[in-house]
Amino acid sequence: MVPIFELEDVSLSYELAGGARNVLRNISFTVSDGEILTFCGASGTGKTSLLRIMAGLTRQTGGTANFRGAPIDGPANDVAIVFQDYSNALLQWRTVGRNVALGIERTLKGTELKDRVMDALRLVGLEKNVNDYPWQLSGGMQQRVQIARALALKPSVLLMDEPFAALDAMTKASLQDELLNIRDKTGANIVFITHDIEEAVYLGDRVAVLRGTPSTVEQLFDIALPKPRNQITTRELPEFLALRHQIHDAIGGHS
Amino acid sequence: MKLSPLLRGIGGLLVFVLAWEFLIQSGMIRFQYLPPPSAIAIAFNELIATPTMYAEMMHTIGAALGSWVIAAMIGIVLGAALGLSKSLRTYTMTSIEVLRPLPPVALIPVALLMFGFSLKTELFVIAIPAIWPILVGTMGGVLSTSTRLREVARSLKLHRSEILFKILIPAAAPSVLVGCRLSMSLSLVLAIVVEMIGNPEGLGYAVVREAQALNPNLMFAYIILIGLLGVLFNHFLVVASKILLPGEFRRPNSLMGR
């Protein structure tokens, strides 16, 4: 079976005034159908750059990056991206409903469009806020709107760039569970970037650790924790704590 | 008792007018040609019953609004083009930065030589300076549309026309409208100036005419009329912005203010 993503020996460097800056080197991994792959690493390890390559927003400078067997050449049709900075990513002059409709209103009309928007909003629990403007909502709700906009496309893959990093701990926990729920309901594959080790373990079926400058995949961890996951019990499991420890060491953290 | 902000504002104005009246009636200040507000009010009453005033007012409104519309069309199209094309900016920004600070009044002799005493002179002198706030506002609005929004548009696979009409234009609209508002007050000011020292018509010339006729009551009545027109013009655009950008207007930190 063809993997969803297949990256081989991918590298990325920018030409800057003071010379080239290498961001990524020898990145190789695959994403297979049905899994949540989380990337974890310290800041500045090129996590976002890697996601942008997968999203088709940045082109790698070396190696091959394939999506469903074909080289990535711009944003693909059933791949949706959720950015970290929700307030920049939402159209402040459009209501929640019309933000969610942005990607589908060209192809869908009338009740079909309305139903799809409401379905997406229901998945993130915002069906009552369809007529609000983004600036009337809390940060967590705004990020939900962005997730709903991505889900409205019915994507087979969700690429998420530290989507919960700017949110408080409680909002973050509830959105993590919502995300796992959404995965179960929609069957979407998720590639999730975070610098939060516990989040990476809690959400992931596998965790890839990025390390170094330029960075590469230091280690891949299989997360064999029982499902459905639970914010309290899962996080108390000895396996969870052991993985947290190992990943912490792999990242190269000191504490 | 709670008074609305509007009533309090009017109250402040009333105090100012009463103080003016008092200072003159009591003889504390004395200028030969500074009438008290009561005399100006009487003159104003007579003025609004004078048919020729309406022709003068329509002339000035026509010159200001006509030039403003011309300026808006040129400014928005040119500003959007400049915001979208880097090479266009490279070739034209120098010329624009040279022309923009030029005092508008300097255009009056140029216009008089080109168009004589005519409405064309007024349109020329008003429209050119009125282009700049709109042009700069539109260009800035398009340029400052966040790269994130452009990426969102790309990742949602929006077509080029969709990016223009759904992302760039609405994102730039608040700063375009701010430019339009600045331009509108500038248009009225310039219409009055060019009528005073260029084309002898309209309200601007009327002020000069009454001053030269040593008729300060009527002169002040005309000045008040011009002031009211300015308030009306601004109010018109505020209302238009509210209709055009219902969401933007209520947003905190909005460029549009309240």
- Average of pLDDT values for A152-165? 93
Instruction: Give me the pLDDT at residue B120, please.
Output: 93
**DSSP annotation of A129:** G
- Coil, strand, or helix at residue A73? coil
- Average of pLDDT values for B5-30? 90
Would you call B21 an interface residue with chain A, using a CB distance cutoff of 8 Å?
no
Superfamily of domain B36-250: MetI-like (1.10.3720.10)
Tens-place pLDDT, residues B124-138: 999 999 999 999 999
Query: Cβ of B149 and A89 within 8 Å?
Result: yes
Buried-state track B144-162, b at ≥16 Cβ within 10 A, e below 16: ebeebbbbbbbbbbbeeeb
With bands split at pLDDT 50, 70 and 90, how would you rate the model's confidence at B254?
low
pLDDT surpassing 60 at residue B15: yes
pLDDT surpassing 70 at residue B247: no
The domains of chain A, with CATH numbers, are 1-78+157-255 (3.40.50.300), 87-154 (no CATH)
Query: Phi then psi for B78, rounded to 5 degrees?
Result: -65, -40
Query: Cβ of A93 and B170 within 8 Å?
Result: yes
> How close B126 gets to chain A, by Cα (Å)?
33
With bands split at pLDDT 50, 70 and 90, how would you rate the model's confidence at B77?
very high
| Nearest CB to B151 within list A57, A106, A149 | A57
Q: Which residue has the higher pLDDT, B65 or A78?
A: B65
Tens-place pLDDT, residues B191-243: 999 999 989 999 999 999 999 999 999 999 999 999 999 999 989 888 888 88
Residues of chain A neighbouring B149 (CB-CB closer than 8 A):
88-89, 91
pLDDT surpassing 70 at residue B139: yes
- Average of pLDDT values for A150-171? 92
- Average of pLDDT values for B239-252? 73
Least Cα distance to A215 among A102, A78, A46 occurs for A46
Instruction: Give me the pLDDT at residue B238, please.
Output: 86
Instruction: Give me the pLDDT at residue A255, please.
Output: 44
With bands split at pLDDT 50, 70 and 90, how would you rate the model's confidence at A36?
very high
Which residues face A67 on adjacent strands? A5, A70
Choose, out of B155, B160, B251, the residue to mutate when testing the contact with A (most A CBs < 10 Å). B155
Would you call B242 an interface residue with chain A, using a CB distance cutoff of 8 Å?
no
Would you call B156 an interface residue with chain A, using a CB distance cutoff of 8 Å?
yes
Least Cα distance to A177 among A115, A134, A123, A129 occurs for A123
- Average of pLDDT values for A222-249? 91
Query: Cβ of B154 and A92 within 8 Å?
Result: no
User: SS3 for chain B, per residue?
Assistant: CCCCHHHHHHHHHHHHHHHHHHHHHCCCCCCCCCCCHHHHHHHHHHHCCCHHHHHHHHHHHHHHHHHHHHHHHHHHHHHHHHHHCHHHHHHHHHHHHHHCCCCHHHHHHHHHHHHCCCHHHHHHHHHHHHHHHHHHHHHHHHHCCCHHHHHHHHHCCCCHHHHHHHHHHHHHHHHHHHHHHHHHHHHHHHHHHHHHHCCCCHHHHHHHHHHHCCCHHHHHHHHHHHHHHHHHHHHHHHHHHHHHCHHHHHCCCCCCCC
Query: Cβ of B155 and A135 within 8 Å?
Result: no
Nearest CA in chain A to B156: A103
Question: Looking at this predicted complex, what is its ipTM?
Answer: 0.87
Domain ranges of chain B: 36-250
Tens-place pLDDT, residues A43-70: 888 999 999 999 999 999 999 999 999 9
Q: Is the peptide bond before A214 cis (omega within 30 degrees of 0)?
A: yes
Rounded CA-CA distance B225/A158 in Å is 62
Q: In the predicted model, what is the mean pLDDT of chain B?
A: 90
Instruction: Give me the pLDDT at residue B222, please.
Output: 95
pLDDT surpassing 90 at residue A20: no
- Average of pLDDT values for A35-42? 93
Element at A11 (helix H, strand E): strand A5-16
Query: Cβ of B148 and A94 within 8 Å?
Result: no
Rounded CA-CA distance B95/B77 in Å is 17
pLDDT surpassing 80 at residue B3: no
Tell me what percent of chain A is helix, strand and coil, each rounded to the nearest 5. Answer: 40, 25, 35
Element at A160 (helix H, strand E): strand A157-161
- Average of pLDDT values for A202-230? 91
Rounded CA-CA distance A234/A198 in Å is 11
Least Cα distance to A37 among A184, A189, A167, A161 occurs for A189
pLDDT surpassing 80 at residue B252: no
Query: Cβ of B250 and A133 within 8 Å?
Result: yes
Query: Cβ of A81 and B157 within 8 Å?
Result: no
Rounded CA-CA distance B196/B190 in Å is 10
Instruction: Give me the pLDDT at residue A60, please.
Output: 93
Would you call B157 an interface residue with chain A, using a CB distance cutoff of 8 Å?
yes
Rounded CA-CA distance B195/B67 in Å is 14
- Coil, strand, or helix at residue A161? strand
Q: Do residues A10 and A181 touch, judged by C-beta distance below 8 A?
A: no
The percentage of chain A sitting over the pLDDT mark of 90, rounded to a whole number, equals 73
In sequence order, what are the residues at sequence separation of 6 or more whose Cβ sits closer than 8 angstroms to the Cβ of residue A173? A231
Would you call B120 an interface residue with chain A, using a CB distance cutoff of 8 Å?
no
For the range B229-233, what are the long-range contacts, defined as Cβ-Cβ under 8 Å and sequence gap of 24 or more?
B229/B57, B229/B60, B229/B61, B229/B188, B229/B203, B230/B185, B230/B188, B233/B64, B233/B184, B233/B185, B233/B188
Instruction: Give me the pLDDT at residue B258, please.
Output: 44
Instruction: Give me the pLDDT at residue A99, please.
Output: 96
> How close A141 gets to chain B, by Cα (Å)?
17
Query: Cβ of A102 and B157 within 8 Å?
Result: no
- Average of pLDDT values for A87-108? 93
Question: Highest mean pLDDT range out of A213-222, B3-12, B129-138?
Answer: B129-138
